[in-house]
Structure 1
């Protein structure tokens, strides 16, 4: 799947909803392609008190539920259509799921690609790898 097709898959999931007590969901969506060629998707859920789930974590949960852990490429899209780089928590989450994910292609604005290992230099856990 091309970066553009993966982007379109994520963008098609955008459906911003208001939840209870200032919570929101669906204003960020994610699509990832696994090393096996399967596509998994997710949306964000943002709740008060910093409780929530990023779209990337949601998509990764679906992937793991389906017995896969290695991500070939991943993209997150905001409701205005812009591509969002993964936050620090998501970068770490991707890397912690599978050692091979340090080679995951992260799709950035303008369809630029960068490997996760370039976004996470000087690994804190390198002595255990």
Structure 2
């Protein structure tokens, strides 16, 4: 069972930033996930994932938002969120929050073990520490 926290108003603003970036840049079979990160200084960076014909080289939206933040000199992260945009053939009107994939969990934790992640859990949208999602994290040293 995860140790979760309820969302604050600024968490909903972070979700909105992720929704806005994917709604603006959605392209079928190219970009359908948007992510946003809030840094410890309160700045928000949002980006979309970059789909590739060879799935292995696709870059997740969380990684893109992280890179965008670092490129702007922000290296300390507070909270991440990702949202999915509905495809034209789906009978869904709005974006929805999705949990980070395993690689993104590793990446986020590499850049801050205290970072929180917003995700769906037990029918609610909540946040928790990234390490809750990554027990026994990989380490190169023993």
TM-score by length of 1: 0.84
Aligned residues: 120
Distance in structure 1 (CA, Å) of the matches to 2:117 and 2:42: 16
Query: In the TM superposition, what whole-angstrom CA distance separates every residue of 1:47-102 from its partner, at most 9, and x where no partner exists?
Result: 111121111011000111012222101110000411111101111111223xxx11
Q: What residue number does 2:11 align with?
A: 3
Q: 1:17 aligns with which of 27, 30, 38?
A: 27
**Superposed CA offset, 1:83-124 (max 9, x none):** 111101111111223xxx111110012321110111111122
How far 1:126 sits from its partner (Å)?
A: 7.2
- Is there any run of 5+ residues in structure 2 with no aligned partner, and where? 1-8, 87-94
1:105 maps to 2:116? yes
Alpha-carbon distance between aligned partners in 1 of 2:45 and 2:102, rounded to the nearest angstrom: 21
- Is 1:30 aligned with 2:39? no
Among 66, 70, 74, which residue is 2:76 paired with? 70
Larger relative contact order (C-alpha < 8 A, sep ≥ 6)?
2
Looking at secondary structure, tell me which structure has more strand per residue: 1
CA contact (8 A) 1:56 1:90 kept: yes
Runs of 5+ in structure 1 lacking a partner?
A: none
> Residue 106 of structure 2 contacts residue 137 of structure 2 at CA under 8 Å; is this kept in 1?
no
Q: What RMSD, in angstroms, separates the aligned Cα atoms of the two structures?
A: 1.7
Give the whole-Å Cα distance in 2 for the aligned partners of 1:63 and 1:17: 23
Whole-angstrom CA distance in 2 between matches of 1:86 and 1:24: 18
Native 8 Å contact 1:106 1:113 kept in 2: yes
Counterpart-to-counterpart distance in 1, 2:17 and 2:138 = 33
**Runs in 1 of length 4+ with deviation above 2 angstroms?**
none
